[in-house]
Chain A
Amino acid sequence: MPIAFPIPDAAVLGRRGEILTGLGQLVAPEALIVSEDERRAFETDALTAYRRMPLAVVLPSTTSEVSAVLKFCAQNQVKVVPRGAGTSLAGGAIPQEDAIVLGVSKMNRILDVNFGNRTARVQAGVTNLAVSQAVAHEGFFYAPDPSSQLACTIAGNIGMNSGGAHCLKYGVTTNNILGVTLVLLDGTIVEIGGEHLDSPGYDLLGLIVGSEGQLGVVTEAVVRIRRAAEGAKPVLFGFDTSEEAGACVAAIMGAGIVPVAIEFMDKQTIEIVEGFAKAGYPLDVGALLIIEVEGSDREMEAMLARIVGIARKHNVRHIKESHSAAEAAAIWKGRKSAFGATGRVADYICMDGTVPLGQLSNVLRRTGEIVASYGLRVANVFHAGDGNMHPLILYDVNDPAEQAKAEAAGEDILKYCVEVGGCLTGEHGVGIEKRDLMRFQFEERDLWQQMRVRAVFDPAWLLNPAKVFPLDNRLTA
């Protein structure tokens, strides 16, 4: 069943002219996008099988403009879909016909860097990579590193509580944000957190990170920056089978070793990526782990020796250390371009279930069986160290029957993840994609409690309203 969108509110559609005029009084002319051609760039995100044309797109440059726009939308009952770069894989930034898109991409400045406090204050539309680049001259970086980091914004990262390869050691977005400037639907601007740790009262910051644009619009953030290790070295470990690789991951972690990253690729992915990125991956293995260690040369050597010892016990067939910065970069380029490279050979949907580490091999096997039973192919590339699986189910977007099969397979996989003690999504968010699966993970009363919390911020369901919660049986004001 294709993912449903709510029926657009005819009254709002009918008031489009009036709404555009109102918005036009709040922002500069170039910040209001009304033509169909220009709006088209905003009608979908990275879940490209779905698209909807928004009423208009507003791209403010200041927090006070955001405040004015939200206040106007609240007063006029206009829905708002907050947007960063639109790289959500879950359809989190996909608009609907009776909503405006409120994009923060023009708010992309680094406002202040304080190396003494190890913090930076940034506008929320800055890209993830730009934050690291702005502090690199002092040897610092911003830790959460989604593969999309060249494009995706801190706003979107906060929306989804995004992760990345290096989150195994450094935590995901929520562990690296100290404060936000949040604009509430009525236009109120609130400062939450700051350069200090742990604010008094309820943890609003923790609630906002990962709330998928449903509670307010983030315009600035205080992020934690860290000094990079002296050196870092990704090493490739090739295995005959995915099961062996999965068991090796569990054994490394079980031995009390926490590398910076443990990334997994199966045979299908290795072939696709190597064909695209020429990263030097071995082609004669069934599964590959990229394990990164960091520190001084001696520390890395010692850590690697421990890891190699464990890998040998799991029949590792191929070990390749990077010996130069260029080799290391090639290894990571391959991993970080895995989705893009896959997109060149087929359309795909990317699942994001997280499972207990002990279940990795089992879930990989079951994923293969499920996808095969629908007559489709799957490529697995994921953050193995924290059990966050990413099966990419390959299909042809122009074939509705195949799309339906891919979605059904994805659903079966996620149900299985929940069944073995895991969850529907580890870092990509629920969006529209997993919205209708929420009842596999939650009881109705759990969802109602979440909706009651949501209603504190947005009782009229104007903010990103078609996301996260199943469209039926919703708490309404």
Chain B
Amino acid sequence: MTRHSPTSEAEACAIVAEAAAQRTPLAIQGSGTKRAFGRPPQFELTLSSSQMTKVTLYEPAEFVISAEPGAPLNGIVRLLAEHRQELAFEPLDYRPLLGSDGEPTIGAVAAMNLSGPRRIAGGSARDSALGVRFVNGRGEAIKSGGRVMKNVTGLDLVKLMVGAHGTLGFLTEVTFKVVPSPQRVATLWLVGLSDQTAIAALSAALGSPYDISGAAHLPAKIGDGARTLIRVEGFPDSVEYRLGELRSLLKAFGTAVVLADDTGRDLWGAIRDATVLAEPRDKAIWRISTAPAKGADVAARIARTIDARWFFDWGGGLIWLACSTASAASAATIRAATREAGGHATLVRAPEDVRAAVDVFDPPVEAIARLQTGLKASLDPAGIFNPGRMFPEL
């Protein structure tokens, strides 16, 4: 196995051009923390971002940061915090679930479109991505987007590259919009609600004028009784006011209690990374996205035939689900329930034999599959980047 770790975009171009000429598949790697995610590929050559780690631009007053792909996420988070700023999308960290170590890179965060609880208010990683540079499958350095807040110049390849899991190119620079860190983050919680009622409560909060930045429900099976969590953030006086208004708004659902700020922070961390489902490690983990109002239904349907534990984020629209029977059959059940409600299910964690047999992502309908195959060929004509990682045919 050979590992290439270019130190510049130009070097990366040369490596890719050579691999393309030989039609040698390349595993695109950051720090390897998410090796257990996605379809398991086996490659001779690895193209790693480990030697491209610089922050290339940071203008706090302009709310923009650019970095090479191998820049560790924790370094970026620390740098932003020094200026009381942060990434709006609250990137989730897969290490607790996947049991991996090493430092996640900003390139992998972009490649996987990793977004946490604030997705419902601050958008996804993709929404925050202003620009990318990448090496396409011809070995050419391509740029799309830029560093300004609004940009509709040409086709938006940024959106394609963010979330492509390294199958369309090797990112060499990513630029994100950042936001001021809220001065206070506070959490309300309600206890003892059923899934259906909890999601109704979250929906009432999200449909209120009080700017909710997190809306999750941990059913009793997760432990510690059923807990419904609502997060608000901003200037302290405003947060205090909104907490009060929300408590009266939610009266019908019980007495909402304000959590101590650090207890709240820890809980949101656990929700973001789904650590509450990390153990036992032999369980398969699914991440299901559906319409919030359908969330409780989807989970209940799955539970009819599969022994599962789950919790909700995104106001009910995101279901994290752990089940013991990881098999093609259970995958079919989960996908059928999700599809009927509208949405999709991603297999995040499973034993390798299951990952080899079950599609990690919902297989697309034929017309979309054709477009995806076309897009892959347009960016990576020799099919060398992470083949098979997202879908068997890509």
Q: Does B144 contact A (CB under 8 A)?
A: yes
| In the assembled complex, B314 has its CB within 8 A of some CB on chain A | yes
Question: Complex: how many Å from CA A388 to CA B364?
Answer: 37
Type the 1/0 row for B137-151, where 1 means its CB is closer than 8 Å to any CB of A: 000111110111111
Q: Mark B234-248, 1 if CB is under 8 A from A, else 0.
A: 010110010001000
Among residues of B, the one whose C-beta sits closest to the C-beta of A459 is: B374
> Which of A197, A256, A446 is B142 in contact with, Cβ under 8 Å?
A446
Q: Quick one: which of A210-231 are within 8 Å of B by CB?
A: 210-211, 214, 227-230
Q: Could you say which residues of chain A place their CB within 8 Å of the CB of B162? A: 203
Q: Is A96 in contact with chain B by the CB < 8 A criterion?
A: no
State whether B146 touches A423 (Cβ < 8 A). yes
- A445 is contacted by which of B59, B140, B342, B365 (Cβ under 8 Å)? B140
* A455 within 8 Å of B (CB atoms): yes
> CA A381 – CA B389 in complex, angstroms?
48
Indicate if the CB atoms of A302 and B150 lie closer than 8 Å. Answer: no
Q: Quick one: given A117-B292, A119-B291, A201-B372, are A227 and B207 in contact (CB under 8 Å)?
A: yes
CB of B1 closer than 8 Å to a CB of A: no
Q: In residues 157-173 of chain B, which contact A (Cβ within 8 Å)?
A: 157-160, 162-164, 168
Chain B residues with CB under 8 A of A203: 113, 126, 159-160, 162-163
**Which one of A114, A118, A227, A449 contacts B379 once the chains associate, using CB atoms below 8 Å?**
A449
Selected contact of A354 from candidates B123, B150, B207, CB within 8 Å: B150
Residues in chain B near residue A457, CB distance under 8 A: 371, 374
Residues in A neighbouring B155, C-beta threshold 8 A: 207, 210-211, 214, 450, 453-454, 468
Determine the residue in chain A with the shortest Cβ distance to B60.
Answer: A254
- Which residues of A from 184 to 236 have beta carbons under 8 Å from B? 184, 188, 190, 192, 194-207, 209-211, 214, 227-230
Answer yes or no: B250 CB below 8 A from chain A CBs: no
Give chain B residues whose Cβ lies under 8 Å from the Cβ of A430: 152-154
Residues in A neighbouring B160, C-beta threshold 8 A? 202-203, 206-207, 453
Question: With the chains together, A354 CA to B209 CA distance in Å?
Answer: 31
Interface positions, chain B 39-91, Cβ under 8 Å from A, are 59-64, 84-85
Asked if B302 CB lies within 8 Å of chain A CBs, one says: no
Partner pick for B150 among A114, A119, A427, CB 8 A cutoff: A427
> A206 contacts B159, CB within 8 Å?
yes
A209 surroundings in chain B (CB, below 8 A) = 156
Chain B residues near A303: list those with CB within 8 A. 235, 238
Are the C-beta atoms of A190 and B154 separated by less than 8 Å? Answer: no
A179 to chain B, nearest CB (A): 9
Whether B33 sits at the interface, judged by CB under 8 Å, is no
* B124: Cβ under 8 A from any A Cβ: yes
Interface membership of B368, Cβ < 8 A: yes
* Cα of A198 to Cα of B124 in the assembled complex, Å: 8
Chain B residue numbers with a CB within 8 Å of A295 are 209, 238
Q: How far is the CB of B52 from chain A (nearest CB, A)?
A: 20
Q: Which residue of A lies closest to B381 (CB)?
A: A452
Cβ–Cβ contact A229 & B63, under 8 A? no
Residue of A nearest to B131 (CB): A423
Contacts of A230 in B (CB 8 A): 209
CB distance from B383 to the nearest CB of A (A): 15
Q: Is A405 an interface residue (CB 8 A)?
A: no
The answer to whether the Cβ of B180 comes within 8 Å of any Cβ in the partner chain is: yes
Residues from chain A with a CB closer than 8 A to the CB of B141 are 445
Contact A442 B143 (CB under 8 A): yes
B390 close to chain A: CB less than 8 A: yes
> A357 an interface residue at 8 Å Cβ cutoff?
yes
Asked whether any CB of chain A lies closer than 8 Å to the CB of B361, the reply is: yes
- Which residue, of A139, A256, A295, has the highest number of chain B Cβ atoms within 10 A? A256
In Å, the complex CA distance between A455 and B378 comes to 8
Q: Are B367 and A210 in contact (CB under 8 A)?
A: no
A253 to B149, CA, bound (A): 13
Interface range, A side? 35 or more
Question: Roughly how many angstroms separate A455 CA and B368 CA in the complex, as a whole number?
Answer: 15
State whether A200 touches B344 (Cβ < 8 A): yes
Measured between beta carbons, the chain B residues less than 8 angstroms from A204 are 368, 371-372
Stretch binding the partner chain, chosen from A101-109, A166-174, A319-327: A166-174
Residues of the A chain whose Cβ atoms lie less than 8 Å from the Cβ of B180: 256-258
Known: A196-B343, A197-B317, A357-B61. A114 touches B293 (CB 8 A): yes
Which chain B positions have C-beta within 8 A of A299?
A: 235, 237-238, 241
Which of B159, B163, B179, B292 sits near A116, CB closer than 8 Å?
A: B292
Contact B144 A358 (CB under 8 A): no
Provide the bound-state CA to CA distance between A218 and B249, in Å: 39
Across the two chains, which residue of chain A brings its CB closest to B292?
A117
Report the Cα distance A354→B147, complex, angstroms.
10
* Residue of B with least CB distance to A188: B367
A82 at the interface (CB under 8 A from B): no
Interface residues of B in 340-375 (CB under 8 A from A): 342-344, 346, 361-362, 364-365, 367-368, 371-372, 374-375
B238 — nearest CB in chain A belongs to which residue?
A: A299
With beta carbons under 8 angstroms apart, the residue of B156, B241, B293 that contacts A206 is B156
Chain A, 411-464, CB within 8 A of any chain B CB: 421-430, 434, 438, 441-443, 445-447, 449-450, 452-457
A446 touches B143 (CB 8 A): yes
The answer for the CA separation of A237 and B75 in the assembled complex, in Å, is 39
A340 close to B (CB within 8 Å): no
A369 to B61, CA, bound (A): 26
**A426 adjacent to B150 (CB under 8 Å):** yes
With a CB–CB cut-off of 8 A, which chain A residues contact B203? Answer: 116
A206 touches B364 (CB 8 A): no
Shortest beta-carbon distance from B232 to chain A in Å: 12
* B118: interface (CB < 8 Å): no
Q: Which of A190, A196, A424, A442 contacts B317 (CB 8 A)?
A: A196
CB of A193, distance to nearest CB on chain B (Å): 10
Q: Which residues of A contact B (CB under 8 A)?
A: 114-119, 138-140, 160-161, 163, 167, 171-172, 174-175, 184, 188, 190, 192, 194-207, 209-211, 214, 227-230, 250, 253-254, 256-258, 295-296, 298-299, 302-303, 354-358, 383, 386-388, 421-430, 434, 438, 441-443, 445-447, 449-450, 452-457, 468
Counting from the closest, the 10 A-B pairs by CB-CB distance are A206-B159, A256-B180, A456-B374, A426-B150, A195-B291, A200-B361, A386-B149, A452-B378, A196-B343, A254-B61
Q: A114-B291, A161-B152, A426-B149 are in contact. List 10 more A-B contacts (CB 8 A).
A: A116-B207, A118-B292, A171-B127, A174-B127, A188-B367, A196-B317, A202-B371, A354-B150, A387-B148, A442-B154
> Could you tell me which B residues sit within 8 Å of A by CB distance?
59-64, 84-85, 113, 115, 119-120, 123-124, 126-127, 136, 140-144, 146-160, 162-164, 168, 179-181, 203, 206-209, 211, 235, 237-238, 241, 245, 289-294, 314, 317-318, 342-344, 346, 361-362, 364-365, 367-368, 371-372, 374-375, 377-379, 390-391
Q: Could you give 9 example pairs across A and B, Cβ below 8 Å?
A: A118-B292, A202-B164, A207-B156, A227-B208, A356-B147, A387-B148, A438-B153, A449-B140, A455-B378
